Chains A and B, each alone.
Chain A
Amino acid sequence: MKALDKITNLFSHRQKVFLLVVAGVICGLGGLFLYLLRAHTYLGDDSSACINCHIMTPYYATWSHSSHGRDATCNDCHVPHQNMAMKYGFKAVDGLKHVAYFLTHSERQAIMAEDMSAEVIMDNCIRCHTQLNQEFVYTGRIDFMEAKRGEGKACWDCHRNVPHGGMNSLSGTPGAEGVVPLPPSPVPNWLQNIIGK
């Protein structure tokens, strides 16, 4: 308590009010910033979160028309599922990389998985198709790094079109830009109703 008193005694009443307001503005605008970026959607597993920005549109469009589009989400393949820490840790690192590429306009025209990502994807192929590739055939008994060293094949060395199709280009699905679910208006329904729009 003494320590707290010491800190509160440092500021006058006016300063306290001012600081509270400033802190409120920062928190409020920070919150608004994250909300407008739809940052909350990144916590869940909804695939449409991945097309909050338009870069991933071709990959969303090709996935949604593939067999994997019926039951598997982006996260099912693209983030690890061993435990929550790994899942969100990977999501954070990968997501921040995407932010960096996006802000600096340095996205590739044909996006390819980096090694770290490829490992996760291959583990996930094996995770869902376990019985098939461990009991019936033995293709799922290695991981991506072994395949990279030439000690076997990665899943997509044969299943080349799964699930994003044979063409890999940001320009591959020009018609999908206006068709994929676009992010909803950030203004909530109840507010829209109040202002009568």
Chain B
Amino acid sequence: MVVVFILGLLASSLMERRAEVVSVFNNKRTIFTDSIVSQNEKFKADYPREYNTWAMTEDTSFESKYNGSEEVDVLEQRPEMVILWAGYAFSRNYNTPRGHKHALDDMRKILRTGNPGIDGDADMQPATCWTCKGPDVPRMMRELGLDTYYHMRWSELGNEMVNTIGCSDCHDARTMELRPARPALYEAFERRGLNVKDATYQEMRSLVCAQCHVEYYFKKGTDYLTFPWDKGLTLEDAEAYYDELDYYDYIHSLSKTPILKAQHPGYEMSLQGIHGQRGVSCADCHMPYMSEGGVKYTDHHIMSPLANIDRTCQTCHRQDAETLRKNVYERQDKCTEVRNRAEKELATAHIEAKFAIDNGATEAEMKPIQDLLRKSQWRWDYAIASHGATFHAPQEVTRLLSHSVDFAHQARLQIVKVLAKHGFTGDIPMPDVSTKAKAQQYIGLDMPKLEEKNQRFMDEIVPKWIEDAKAKGKLIDL
């Protein structure tokens, strides 16, 4: 009897799987009339698979040789980067990125956004900094108007920016069509005589990522978020664009160089690689299709494709998973080899430039050196800030990094010449900057104080933002 019963159960379970094909749209429970719905939870009932996989971006357990899902303190690993960013907030705190679900948390706790409201401290950053952090952004841009939004300070919108990167950032809530929600992308396309709306579906599967994972800058004076794409999408095109504007992000506190800080030109760099050039979209590998019981859907657990080689690489490549993983690591290793050299040389050059200035080098003597340092650092930053480029476009990364090493070397040669003119011919003394703490102390950062203030900011100010948003129904619990 038991045997018969179990056999019956098995039979019906197998038969059920046969009938698993269902239609999503015929059974929609929530009908949206607005294209932007910022509470991601409202989508759960109608798109359970997409919602649940999106929610899994909370998971930080995936480890890879480079940039897994966990947060890693990069400055701890690479103290030279503290030196490279001396005079800019990045020297305080820089971690490897976590999943989309952590975007808001990570931004509030990072030392780069300061601690507005603690001990009367003002904002360090404009509201523009929120722009990529969730579907509340397009909602507020529409409510306030673009100019007002960009003109506000970061903390003024703290109680509005409460839903992390989610559905309405990429989808029109009414139809679920792909639709990037950030004006900067549309404006950059327009200036190049293109229209985002003309993009094919396959291109759109990258453009929704490109609304954020790109190089951008805030226009001086207005903090208007802009992509430097007018001349093209390569590093050289962006450099020419910035040079024409005499633009710089900060003056390096050691070498007094006007530095260009690269953001994360992930999209531009991927276009330089073979996958991008063959028309593979970001989503093809980072959001691979899944078939579950006859239903095909897009995995919204955006992460490294190395976590799911069987449905990313192996869709096209026939090699076994370990071979493919090794192929990726090999490319990343080689790029990292050059990166290590670039960081060492460039950090040394900045310190040597400071020594030259301290020993009487004139502004005119320093100008050509600073030009070289600016070029070198821009190439290094552009190559490494675009997470994943060591795989997306390894040859472009090595090209940029080798130019970076070359410019740093040229700068160091010039420094020696200038110093000789001022009567110094020995070895330039090097400070001990072998750890993050030592490097931060060397460039004059009071880290304990910054961290203590940030802790109070997290304990006193942020909970009020959340409370306020909940009271107004802008943040909902399931």
| Known interface pairs A33-B10, A109-B310, A166-B316; A54-B4 also in contact (CB < 8 Å) | no
User: What residues on B are CB-neighbors of A103 within 8 Å?
Assistant: 10, 13-14
Shortest distance between the CB of A165 and any CB in chain B (Å): 11
Interface pick from A4-12, A119-127, A171-179: A171-179
Residue contact A156 to B318, C-beta cutoff 8 Å: yes
Q: Tell me whether A110 and B294 are in contact (CB under 8 A).
A: no
User: Which A residues touch B3, using CB under 8 A?
Assistant: 26
Chain B residues near A110: list those with CB within 8 A. Answer: 310-311, 314-315
CA distance A99 to B18 in the complex (A): 14
Q: Nearest B residue to A112 by beta-carbon distance? A: B314
In Å, the complex CA distance between A177 and B288 comes to: 19
For residue B296, which residues in chain A have a CB less than 8 angstroms away from its CB? 170-171, 174
Residue B7 at the chain A interface, CB threshold 8 Å? yes
Docked-complex contact A22 and B1, CB < 8 angstroms = yes
Contact in complex: B311, A109 (CB < 8 Å): yes
B391 to chain A, nearest CB (A): 19
B318 touches A25 (CB 8 A): no
Interface of B is mostly: helix
CB distance from B314 to the nearest CB of A (A): 4
- The residue in chain A whose Cβ has the minimal distance to the Cβ of B21 is A177
Interface size in chain A (residues, C-beta < 8 A): 30
Residue-wise interface mask of A (7-36) relative to B, using a CB-CB cutoff of 8 A (1 in contact, 0 not): 000000000000000100110011011001
Q: Which chain B residue shows the least CB distance to A55? A: B291
Q: Is the CB of B4 within 8 A of A168?
A: no
> How many Å lie between the Cα of A14 and that of B183 in the bound state?
84
Known: A109-B290, A169-B289, A171-B290. A53 touches B14 (CB 8 A): yes
- A178 contact set on B, CB distance < 8 A: 21
Most interface-central of B8, B20, B308, B314 (chain A CB within 10 A): B314
Interface residues on B, range: 20 to 34
Contacts of A156 in B (CB 8 A): 318
Q: Which of A102, A167, A174, A183 contacts B316 (CB 8 A)?
A: A167
Cα-based distance from A177 to B18 in the complex (angstroms): 11
Contact of A177 among B294, B311, B316 (CB under 8 A): B294
Q: A166 vs B316: C-alpha distance in the bound complex, in angstroms? A: 7
Given contacts A22-B1, A26-B3, A54 and B17 within 8 Å (CB-CB): yes
User: How many angstroms between the C-alpha atoms of A42 and B142 in the bound complex?
Assistant: 61
B15 interface residue (CB < 8 Å to A): yes
Flag if A33 contacts B11 (CB, 8 Å): yes
Chain A neighbourhood of B20, CB < 8 A: 54
Q: Which residues of B contact A25 (CB under 8 A)?
A: 1, 4
Residues of B within 8 A of A177 (CB): 21, 294
The residue among A26, A37, A167, A169 with the most chain B CB atoms within 10 A of its own CB is A169
B14:A37 contact, CB within 8 angstroms? yes
Contact with B along A47-64 (1 / 0, CB 8 A): 000000110000000000
Q: Please, which residue of chain A has its CB at the minimum distance from the CB of B297?
A: A171
Query: Does A160 count as interface, using CB distance less than 8 angstroms?
Result: yes
Pairwise interchain contact B291-A36, C-beta atoms closer than 8 A = no
CA distance A110 to B314 in the complex (A): 7
Residues in A whose Cβ lies below 8 Å from that of B15: 36
User: Cβ of B4 and Cβ of A30 under 8 Å apart?
Assistant: yes
Q: Which residues of A contact B291 (CB under 8 A)?
A: 109, 169-171
Q: Considering the chains assembled together, what is the distance between the CA atoms of A112 and B316 in angstroms?
A: 12
Bound form: Cα–Cα A26–B4 in Å: 6
Q: Is A108 an interface residue (CB 8 A)?
A: yes
Q: Which residues of B contact A (CB under 8 A)?
A: 1, 3-4, 7-8, 10-11, 13-15, 17-18, 20-21, 288-291, 294, 296, 308, 310-311, 314-316, 318
Query: Could you give 26 example pairs across A and B, Cβ below 8 Å?
Result: A25-B1, A26-B3, A26-B4, A32-B11, A33-B10, A53-B17, A53-B18, A54-B294, A103-B10, A103-B13, A103-B14, A108-B310, A109-B290, A109-B315, A110-B310, A112-B318, A167-B315, A168-B315, A168-B316, A168-B318, A170-B290, A170-B296, A171-B290, A172-B315, A177-B294, A183-B18
The 5 tightest CB contacts between A and B, nearest first, are A109-B311, A171-B289, A170-B291, A110-B314, A171-B296
